Structure 1
Amino acid sequence: MGTAATGRITLRAEWGPEIRTTLALAWPLVLTNLSQFALSLTDALFLGRVSTEALAAATLGGNLFFATLAPAFGLALAAGPMCAQTRGRGRGHLRGMRRDVRAAFWAVAAATVPIWLLLWHTQALLGLLGQEPALAALAGQYVRALMWGMPLFCGFVVLRGFLAAEQRPLSALVVSFAGVALNVPLNYWLIHGGLGVPALGAVGAGIASSLCNLAMFAGLVGVIARDRHLRRYHLFGRLWRYDLARLREVAQIGLPIAGSMALEIAVFAFAAIAMGWFGAIAVAAHAIAVQIASATFMVPMGIAQAATARVGLMTGAGRVTAAARAGWIGIALGAGFMAASAGALVLLSGSLAWLFLAPGNAGAAETAALAATMLVVAGLFQLADGVQAVASGALRGLKDTTVPMLLAGFGYWVIGLPLGLALALPGGFGPIGLWVGLATGLFLVAGLMLARWVRLSASGGLTLRRRLG
């Protein structure tokens, strides 16, 4: 057999199983992300049919909520690579993974209180940022109902990371879909009222989401407690004990993740606030475009989580070439999906915008037209968004989180947002100019993240070996 043919067989033998393993791990994580995203999507669908003002207020409040959520969320995400590398090392992994999970819980608890204090004053913060008083007041009420579910959601993320490291993501998927199913009747009941409960509007949507986060966290706790294999870890035993070394590791990994998320979330939150300068229609159109673009982003995010688990597992086991291969496979899968979704957003932009609006509402036609144009721009940056997400996830599997945070900060805040504001205001392009600037920033971040992964995975994994010490 020729050398070329032998090489093709070897390549297929090495890459084929990893592709299948990554896909098997990624698709439940993708669907889990979509189901969790569906909680806020359900809120938007219900509130968009109540009024444009209710949708705009929930968007402003929700953007602030997710921006301030980043520290706790990033610390929760640290459990994934930590558990994966601990499991990859093998010996003593039961005790080690229990300590990883417990440290992540402690870190989330420590971050929750200051975040709650900030969110309690949402109305005042939005007022200082120049929002209309009525919108700021309604957004503040929505966030005060939504904020109680935050630590429960982060606890769910910690347990989801543990299950991904165990290569058992289906439980999180089932629990997440149950949460979405619960959110629909809760939204209908609490937003519109009934059975002795008055119509609560946006506040009702916030309460429904908090209750669903409680149900999902409790669901995963129940799954782990009942499963014979998972029960061996005793994840909830002696939770009051803290491990200073593990807490330090959670902070070292999780805070840069939180920083990256905060930078990305905050730039879109600031964009939503800037949309408020153009009126409620611009805010509502921005909300629709972000919701749809975020829905497609859940797929590369799930692939990124699978890449984190696979790269972390191989790195912990010392299999540096396999770790590099796992990362490249994830990046290719994410890029392929987002290229397809870009075409769909461009072709279906008008129809997608009307999913969130009732034709009879005031300003609905103008909102739909602006949202459709924004979706065309969103389609153009889909590929970049997918690449940067999965590359970041692969780097996270190496516990490389600080440099990616700095790269994200440069792309979003030094290039993307200033360019968008320049195009929107002095440039005269309005809301669309802001979106073009954000798209440019995303392309830059994608290139920088990919270059970082190329550097760390070059020369047959030699850089990875150095990172293993």
Structure 2
Amino acid sequence: MPSLRRLPLLLPDHRGMTQETRSELRSLAGIAAPLAVAQASQLVMSLAASVLLGRLSGSALAASGLCAVFIQVLVVVSQGVIAGAHPLMAAAKGKSEAEGQGGDGAAYAFGGAVLASLVLSLISVAILLNLPAVLRPFGVSADILRDVDEFIAMAAFAVPAILWILPIRLYFSVSGKSWLTMASVAIGALFYVPALSILTFGGFGFAGHGLIGAGIAYAMAWWLIAAGLTVYSLATGHLPVSTFRNALRNAPQALKDVWKIGWPIALIYAAELGMTLILTLITSGLGTIAIIANQIAYTLNNIAFNPIVAIGQATTVRVAYHLGAGRPVAARLAGNLSLMTAAGLMAFFGVLFFLASEQIIHLLLGADTADLSVIQPLSQKLILILAGFLVFDGIQSAANGALRGLKDTRVPMIVGLCGYWLVGVPTAIVLALWLDLGVVGVWFGILAGIVSVACCLLLRWRYMAGIAVSPTDGAAVTRDGRGVLRKMTSPT
């Protein structure tokens, strides 16, 4: 039985919630809630595209799905690199406010993020415009390749707009103005759905252009979001022109600092996406029923994970902000509150999905779906496994966000690579293929990978937070070349 003295990093004070705790929770929610709404708007855009393009043809739906996967991979990996600016911005803001300095301390890291987004945009567009050539060796049918070429020729140019928004979104999350990002993406989603329908199928005096029109609508929506957000922010002073001037002055040097923190984050994202891709390929060989059941569970996982991503980003801001201001105890509190909030929210989703699994399956499939009597019990098994690991998924996301606030990204990268690829994927292969558990084995593999990552990151957070707050054993705290907290043992 562990001593209660070992638990204060994860439990609130026994006397009840303090004013400091309530204030920190409000700050976390103020950053996370608008980000979650913005991500929900993006989810609506994706679902609308699937529904409308499915009406065009099966080939069009498959082609747009392939394009969406590649766009997502490139954007998410690029986002990982750009996210290296997040703790730098928050720490600079915390330091400048604590010391009563004027100016915009976040401008330096903002410049590195902007330059990174420009470079990564060029690389991403070049890859996407050659996507048919990338897919051809994998035996993709000629019809789908033709549709891919039509859609991506226009949709590829949405990526620079998406990546341009990322540095601004990071800047606003640090300055407490995430609502601007939320409003711009929500407005863009409202524009995208009718524009997609009109440009694809025609209407209101416009001719439909099929997949080419769908690609144009996608690019137009994101450029509308990017241009509207930028112009409004500059005109109202939410993003001062002076910030751009200061950002451009030292952007090349700032890019190096952003890269040092960001590349391990990008690799974590790539490892997780890679695991998902491999396990999806394994599932695709297990039959139609397995694919449908897997898609149901995967959709529910995406719904639950949407607010958790926002909580992780908010945690990075609050931990780095407090640390930059010289308040390590407050930084630890922010991380711990985030962990408890994420775990509690995911537990709620897990219980909800488990109790309402039958109703959810009928909502997604309909009562007249072929083989429903076989799909439903299999889907319920996967939902049960999903309910089991959602709490751990919330913990690993929040712990990752907290550690990024400490600029600790390389150890979490190693943990992610080992957990996903040395635990998750092998477990899924053994259970699904060797022990003939099928898609149930695949999801047990996901469970094993996420649980191992979550437990290791939780221990890492406790260790690093302990260093930040109260170094022991005669050690002193210093920072390495990347700004990460380290213990320095006395030579005596």
Q: TM-score, normalised by structure 2?
A: 0.83
Tell me which residue corresponds to 2:395: 387
Identity across matched positions, percent: 27
8 Å CA contact 2:198–2:206 kept in 1: the answer is no
Deviations 1:172-209 (A, max 9, x none): 111121122122212322443444433625x6544433
8 Å CA contact 1:153–1:217 kept in 2: the answer is yes
Distance 1:149 1:361, change over 3 A: farther
Amino acid at match of 1:15: T
Tell me which residue corresponds to 1:302: 310
Single out whichever of 362-371 and 251-260 deviates more from structure 2: 362-371
Q: CA deviation at 1:238?
A: 7.8
Tell me which stretches of 4 or more aligned residues in structure 1 moved more than 6 Å. Answer: 358-369
Q: CA deviation at 1:441?
A: 0.7
1:42 matches 2:42? no
1:438 matches 2:460? no
* Alignment partners' CA distance in 1, 2:465 and 2:329: 8
* Alignment partners' CA distance in 2, 1:282 and 1:137: 29
Q: CA deviation at 1:264?
A: 1.0
Distance 1:43 1:238, change over 3 A: same
Single out whichever of 392-401 and 347-356 deviates more from structure 2: 347-356
Tell me which residue corresponds to 1:197: 207
Single out whichever of 12-21 and 125-134 deviates more from structure 2: 125-134
* Alignment partners' CA distance in 2, 1:307 and 1:401: 14
Secondary structure at the aligned position of 1:428 is classed as: coil
Tell me which residue corresponds to 2:33: 27
8 Å CA contact 2:118–2:164 kept in 1: the answer is no
Secondary structure at the aligned position of 1:399 is classed as: coil
8 Å CA contact 1:186–1:208 kept in 2: the answer is yes
Q: CA deviation at 1:396?
A: 0.9
Tell me which residue corresponds to 2:272: 264
2:129 to 117, 120, 123: 120
1:212 to 203, 211, 221: 221
8 Å CA contact 1:95–1:233 kept in 2: the answer is no
Amino acid at match of 2:425: L
Amino acid at match of 1:192: F
Q: Paired residues, what number?
A: 461
Distance 1:59 1:447, change over 3 A: farther
Q: CA deviation at 1:220?
A: 1.8
Tell me which residue corresponds to 2:24: 18
1:246 matches 2:254? yes
* Alignment partners' CA distance in 2, 1:322 and 1:126: 50
Aligned pairs for 1:13-412 (under 5 A) are: 13-48=19-54, 54-90=60-96, 94-129=103-138, 138-139=147-148, 141-194=150-203, 195-198=205-208, 200=210, 204-228=213-237, 230-232=238-240, 234-237=242-245, 243-278=251-286, 282-283=290-291, 285-353=293-361, 355=363, 373-412=381-420
Q: TM-score, normalised by structure 1?
A: 0.87
Distance 1:76 1:61, change over 3 A: same
8 Å CA contact 1:281–1:366 kept in 2: the answer is yes
Q: CA deviation at 1:406?
A: 1.1
Q: CA deviation at 1:361?
A: 8.1
Amino acid at match of 2:177: R
Single out whichever of 379-388 and 89-98 deviates more from structure 2: 89-98
Q: CA deviation at 1:281?
A: 6.2
Amino acid at match of 1:37: L
Q: Which has the higher contact order (CA 8 A, sep 6+)?
A: 1
Tell me which residue corresponds to 1:4: none
Which one has the largest radius of gyration? 2
Distance 1:421 1:212, change over 3 A: farther
Q: CA deviation at 1:146?
A: 3.2
Distance 1:62 1:105, change over 3 A: same
Gaps of 5+ in 1: 1-6
Distance 1:26 1:425, change over 3 A: same
